[in-house]
Amino acid sequence: MKKLLAFVVLIATLFVIESCSTVGYGVGQAMDKRRPPVLLEGWQVAEIKHKTPVKILLNDGRVLEGRYLKPSDKLEETKAKKSISIEYKKATIQIPVDQIHQIQAEKRTAAPVIGLVVGATIDAVIFAKIISSKDSKDPPPKPRKPSYSPPPGGTQTGGDYGSIFPSCPLVYVEVDGQYKLDAEPFGGALFKSAEFTDIDRLENLAGVDDIYRLMIANHPSEKIHLNQLQLQVIDHPAKTEVLPSNSGDLTVIRERIAPKTAVSFENQNVRALLRDHDELVWLASPFDKNPEVKSELRTGVTLAFDRPMTAQHANLILNVQNTEWGVSLQDQILTMQGSELEQWYQKMNESEDLKRELIEAMVREGMLLIKVWDGIAWKDVGHIWEVGPAVDKHVVVGIDLHSIATDDLKIKIEGPPGVWVVNQMAVDYSDPVQFDQTVVQPATAVNREGVDIRHLIEKIDENYVILEDIEDFIDLTYVVPSERDGWERTVILRSTGYYKVKIEASGEPQTELFNRMMKEPYLFMQHALRALHGQVTHMPL
């Protein structure tokens, strides 16, 4: 018989390349050390090390520091307790998993590993691991012929592209002689009539010798159609920042006021997770949700912010990201069309009503909804559209407070479990701030063959640059405008386009079920959770 080692394993979703976190879920279970990593619907199994220094955030907001202890060899006893052991102040204590929300594990040579203990299923402990990758770097492309290179850390399907499955183009910027992933625009634009203009703040771009250099790279699972690429160089007063809004505008922020309370739908105190833009994030596990209970198909957080008496407008600031599993759910929309996928694309492109119905269903089922309490009921104020799994993104939602008769500003975010990662939420009540803007067109834009394609991306029209092969790319340079003395600078990328997922279109179309999903709230997520839980049940552990 194979020797089994009892320990907590992790089902980890890998959705970040740079400057963010990788999140996953784990199961207290026995695992054969000689087996390859178990892959599950975008989640990956890995080991937690014995005696690792940890900080445990309890549901009530308290923090305990100690060393994680592996379960004993008596696996059945460990399962029955459904708790985690730590060495705490020279004593061993057991912490029930239903009291733990997040764990941070220290690493000697890298940023901390963070995770969520969220409950118990399949007779084991569910554990979510979040690995910070702030210290990782994208391999630099070859000089003058940049190409998409995966981050280190293995593969998802045995290919050469790492474990990240982006949902859209990959935008790299040159930093200190290397290319660094900085944006992943127009996620969810699955066909031509769904094309839109996305706005991304380029966090890492810096001019070198008065030149900005960018690279647009492709992913092997998609065919990218780029219509326009434009830089907006923003000069703004010192000690302010410029962020994109969910309405397509730019907003100047003077301060970030943290929430005074933040409680999840599961009644956990998550203020510490949302207070700062750091390595701690909020993510609701899809593994401990019962797909047959309608209320468990949704999750979220309710927050309260101090509100100045004179404030009539608020800018809600969110730093968000999608899980790889969440983005992969969109593929199910396509696979359900079966052998009639191309006909379905044609219908979506030709019928505004069908497209509108699909977009409304996507918002209802998968996007992050924002609501404000007006003193009587929750009022919808907008949503955050898909931002992708590869890079976290700042988004501002403007809220008119004239009709909000409350002393505090109360906000609710709501969405499907396992899809949205929220790093920070804050609010700014400052008056509008003026800024200077310069629109910059590319000085050079060449594809992998060295052909000048500037005329194809300078304006929104019917001319596209197509990136279809993994080796396809666009190398861009922009001349840096002169700066305004005493002001700070932010560079915004406006990109317009859409993409088609390379997916096998075969089998009988599931037209009746798809049509029901377009109209029946949360039926799509119910099916997705059923499929995920079915995969968990049959994991080869």
Whole domain around residue 85: which residue ranges? Answer: 5-132
E strand intervals along 210-324: 211-217, 222-237, 241-244, 250-253, 261-264, 299-305, 313-322
- Assess whether 476 and 460 both reside in one domain: yes
Q: Are 142 and 149 in contact (CB under 8 A)?
A: no
Do 415 and 270 fall into the same domain? yes
Does the residue 151 lie in any domain? no
> For the chain, how many structural domains are there in total?
3
How much is the pLDDT for 287? 78
Regarding whether 486 and 443 lie in a shared domain, the answer is: yes
Contact 403, 374 (CB under 8 A): yes
Considering the domain boundaries, does residue 61 fall inside one?
yes
Is the domain of 222 the same as that of 340? Answer: no
- Whether 242 has a pLDDT exceeding 70, the answer reads yes
Residue 480, domain member (yes or no):
yes
413 & 457 share domain? no
pLDDT in tens, 144-156: 444 334 333 322 3
Q: DSSP string of 342-360?
A: HHHHHHHHH-HHHHHHHHH
For 261-280, the pLDDT digits (tens) are: 999 999 989 998 999 998 78
458 with 425, same domain: the answer is no
Residue 206 covered by a domain: yes
271 shares a domain with 259: yes
- The pLDDT of residue 376 is 94
Residue 158 lies in a domain: no
Task: Say yes or no: 60 and 209 in one domain.
Answer: no
pLDDT at 507: 92
pLDDT-based confidence at residue 48 (cuts at 50, 70, 90): low
Tell me the whole-structure pTM to 2 decimals. Answer: 0.84
Residue 159 lies in a domain: no
* 153 inside domain: no
Query: Do 417 and 281 share a domain, yes or no?
Result: yes
More confident residue, 22 or 434: 434
Shared domain check, 358 and 445: no
Same domain, 318 and 426: yes
pLDDT of residue 1: 37
Residues 423 and 479 both lie in one domain: no
Q: Is there a domain that residue 144 lies in?
A: no
**Alpha carbon of residue 6 to chain centroid:** 32
CATH of the domain at 368: 2.60.120.260
Largest CA distance in the chain: 73
